[in-house]
Amino acid sequence: MPMDYLGDRQRNLSAGPKTGALTDDAGTSGLAAFRTEGLSKTYGAGGPNEVRALDGVDLELPSEEIVVLLGPSGSGKSTLLNILGGLDHATRGTAWFRDMELTAMTDRQLTRYRRDHVGFVFQFYNLVASLTARENVELVTDIAADPMPAAEALSLVGLDARLDHFPAQLSGGEQQRVAIARAIAKRPEVLLCDEPTGALDSRTGVAVLSALEAVNARFGTTILVITHNADIERMAHRVIRFQDGRVIDVSRNPDRVAAEGIRW
């Protein structure tokens, strides 16, 4: 990734709205972030317990958008996220990240893809209890090709005053923001989030969503968010609804709401 990545993609957050409607200037790079054709994932193939986690998914997701994935448990959201993130293999069909065919990659190639292009945020923070917030972020910066300083990543999510605090000294929302800082410190083009607010109350969850919103606005990071909370779809550029392993609806948000305006 080029050294001037931040300079090329940085936007002035202070000029943007903090609440109410958001402007829609995402997806301007032209090349889709992800594309799938007939993407399927089957477990127990051919047996009586066969489960089709994904069943022929066709999608095209522009770059620089916040995309919310909605649907009941078992509808295929996490399976899609895992395949797009290089954590799992499809049974059939194809998936691309930009011009890279993920479904043709070896495990070693997928490892490099995850390292160089993708950040992950999960419902559970997966922080190392014996390390400070700064040190947890440095776990990623030590292996990334062009990382931002850990202190800068933590500052981006509003944790300037918590650099040397241990996870046990942080609230749930603060721990999740450390996890986001860790994910963005390697400057990923894509951030994949699986229920990032699932363990949080509304107030702390909004702080986490605001951090994601800031990352998208400042760096143009493509962000995919799995959630069961339908209200979160109001901050998305695009909403994808799943049912029984299939995409049943894809819609764009004409009037996005800032994260600070979301409650549940």
CA contacts within 13 A on the Cβ side of 262? 24
Domain ranges for the chain: 58-88+118-261
Position 31 scores a pLDDT of: 78
State how far Cα 60 lies from the chain centre: 16
CA contacts within 13 A on the Cβ side of 163? 11
Position 6 scores a pLDDT of: 32
Q: pLDDT digit string (tens) for 229-239?
A: 889 999 999 99
Q: pLDDT digit string (tens) for 140-189?
A: 888 888 889 999 999 989 999 999 999 999 999 999 999 999 999 999 99
Which regions of the chain are under pLDDT 50?
1-20, 23-24, 26-29
CA 221 – CA 190 distance, rounded (Å): 6
Position 4 scores a pLDDT of: 34
Two tokens, residue 235: 């901050």
Global model pTM greater than 0.75? yes
- Quickly name the fold that domain 58-88+118-261 has: Rossmann fold (3.40.50)
Position 44 scores a pLDDT of: 83
